[in-house]
Amino acid sequence: MIENNEAIIHRIKDLPSAHLLGTGTPMCAGCGGLEALHEIYDILGEKTVFVNAAGCMTLLSVYPFTPFRGSWLYTAMASAPAGAQGIRDALDILKQKQQISEAEDLQVVVLTGDGAAYGMGLSATSGAMERDLDFIYICYDNEGYGNTGQQYSGATPHAAKTSTSEGAHGFAGYKKDLFAIWAAHKPAYVATVIGAEPLDLARKIEKARTMQGPRMIISLAPCPTGWDYDPKLSVEIGKLAVKTGVWPLKEYIDGEVVHTKVPRQRLPVEEYLKLQGRFRHLFEPERDEMLLEELQAKVDAYWEGV
């Protein structure tokens, strides 16, 4: 039986409050991506149109509602920057024709996971930056294809176990440096953030929203489901990602990279790894000293140049 819109609306209104606009979402408990997105939306506000590529955050939309007071467009995984181009062009045409005022203009915001940002949608994103598209791109990076079972992606770190890298030593590849790839396009702004460091995040989003051109934000998104840990540890794991130096907080602006939070007394990388089931094989049934040393050395080498 096909329900009409009115029937669907009444049925959704009868759902528990956790599924309704403004009171919560049917997402995984402890989602680091949602943590960051809440903070970002608090700053960007209602005068936004979110262009959402297929991924975990697609679950935010429960027809006919979305969790945002602004607008929402859903696209295929690789198509969000193209959708953003169409919306931005349409808004500019309406302003040119004086059919909307500057006060009625909207901030165009792309929202994707790492599967789209690091992989399937990278070419469309590159093209949007080359065209100097005026938009904000937010990637919630949970280091795998989280919405379909945590298969490895271009963002998966070395040695992490995923549903498609279950060998004794985990993922054999290395995490792609998306920050450097985006910065190589010389956009207006690139930044890394994490929800567990809200002041750093807020400063960067405040800065990005006042600028024009391509503004690119990568948020590490601790994922209890994909990373295999207790959801109550999401903030602790996020803070450890920064304190161990695994996730550098930095920004690219005016041709320069500046680190916004430098962990002068870095904790050992294993403090971050040992809380996550995806790295359990590095510690049980016995420690894999070679891999642990390799992971530590890679982080050390990065910070030696800072």
Q: What is the pLDDT of residues 91-102, one digit of tens each?
A: 999 999 999 999
pLDDT at residue 26, rounded to an integer: 66
Residue 12 vs residue 273, higher pLDDT: 273
Q: Can you give the pLDDT at residue 269?
A: 98
pLDDT value at position 189? 98
pLDDT tens, residue by residue, 257-272: 999 999 989 999 999 9
Q: List the single range of 59-63, 228-232, 265-269 with lowest mean pLDDT.
A: 59-63
Distance between CA 272 and CA 294 in Å, rounded? Answer: 15
Beta-carbon-side half-sphere exposure of residue 256 (alpha carbons within 13 Å): 5
pLDDT higher than threshold 60 for residue 83: yes
Nearest to 105, CA basis, from 42, 187, 46? 46
**Beta strand 189-194 pairing with 249-253:** antiparallel
Which residue, among 91, 83, 90, has the nearest Cα to 128 in the 3D structure? 83
User: Which residue in the block uniquely carries the two structure tokens 């969000």?
Assistant: 80
Could you tell me the pLDDT band of residue 39, with boundaries at 50, 70 and 90? very high
Which range (15-24, 37-46, 200-209, 257-266) has the least confidence? Answer: 15-24
**Cα angle for residues 198, 204, 206 (degrees, 5° grid):** 100
Could you tell me which CATH class the domain 15-304 is placed in? alpha beta
Residue with tokens 């165009």: 108
Residues, the chain, total? 306
Give the Cα separation of 111 and 34 in Å (integer).
11
d(CA 121, CA 7): 36
pTM: 0.91
Helices (H), 223-268: 224-227, 234-243
